[in-house]
Amino acid sequence: MAAGYRAEEEYDYLFKVVLIGDSGVGKSNLLSRFARDEFSLETRSTIGVEFATKTVQVDDKLVKAQIWDTAGQERYRAITSAYYRGAVGALVVYDVTRRITFDNAERWLRELRDHTDANIVVMLVGNKADLRHLRAVTHEDAAAFAERHGTFSMETSALDATNVDRAFAEVLRQIYHVVSRNALDIGDDPAAPPRGKTIDVGAAKDEVSPVNAGGCCSA
């Protein structure tokens, strides 16, 4: 066990990514699908904070993603400033079948901007995309949001695993690019927010468009 643990510790970068969004949009299941390839219909509501890590390959580097998941209820926002500290990426999650959770994404984004570095990589994630017949938020809505706020966007289904790995991978890849492009000295604190040039979201946005996203044509 100890040996396996140590092996997992081998990585080039450690990126902290936070999951935010209204209660019940599927944050915990996105996390478990990404980290352990598991989905549970019997998820317990998250209180406080939960974490998971997964190491993935980005270009020729090993990137360890440390994903943080928290409670979605509004009053919990007051206790989560420590939650955002050092985050270099975020998935703002909404439920494609519940319009209100999409409308609230803007507030979540504001929350994020208030607590994190301006260069944080943000991906708007419309989860539960498998529930096609119940859709309440269109691709166009999401695209317009992403355009307006300079974020990436993607639709996922934690249930059938569609795009989950891809959404996380894309966020990690973008973070890595920011970090490597700026040749930052992050040796002391790999989780530190990347500073310097902002990411050119305009160029990448079309590549990661709703549902059939992907197109990870890295430079």
User: Are the C-beta atoms of 178 and 119 separated by less than 8 Å?
Assistant: yes
Residue number with CB closer to another protein (57 or 212): 57
Check binding of 108 to another protein (CB under 8 A).
no
User: Is residue 7 a contact point for another protein (CB under 8 A)?
Assistant: no
Please choose, from the candidates 54, 116, 55, the residue with its C-alpha nearest in 3D space to the C-alpha of residue 88. Answer: 116
We find the least distance from the C-beta atom of residue 198 to another protein, in angstroms, to be: 24
- Stretch of 37-45, 109-117, 140-148, 152-160 contacting another protein, by CB under 8 A: 37-45
Helix %, strand %, coil % of the chain (to 5): 35, 20, 40
Stretch that binds another protein, among 83-91, 148-156, 162-170, 202-210 (CB under 8 A): 83-91
Q: Residues 8, 37, 38, 47: which binds another protein (CB under 8 A)?
A: 47
Strands 121-127 and 61-70, by their bridges, are: unpaired
Nearer to another protein, 83 or 94 (CB): 83
Name which of 82 and 219 has its Cβ closer to another protein. 82
Q: Which is nearer to another protein, 85 or 197 (CB)?
A: 85
Q: Is residue 76 within the footprint of another protein (CB under 8 A)?
A: yes
Query: What span, in angstroms and rounded, lies between the C-alpha atoms of 207 and 219?
Result: 12
Q: Are 20 and 91 in contact (CB under 8 A)?
A: yes
In the complex, minimum distance from the CB of residue 43 to another protein, in angstroms, rounded to a whole number: 6
Beta carbons of 122 and 151 less than 8 angstroms apart: yes
Q: Does 14 bind another protein (CB under 8 A)?
A: yes
- Span of 105-113, 164-172, 180-188, 203-211 interacting with another protein by CB under 8 A: 180-188
Residue 55 engages another protein in binding (rule: CB under 8 A): no
Where does the chain show beta strands of DSSP type E? 13-21, 49-58, 61-70, 89-95, 121-127, 152-155
Buried b (16+ CB within 10 A) or exposed e, 58-86: beeeebbbbbbbbbbeeebbeebeebbeb
By CB under 8 A, name the binding residues for another protein.
11-14, 23-24, 41-45, 47-49, 71-73, 75-76, 78-79, 82-83, 85-86, 186-190
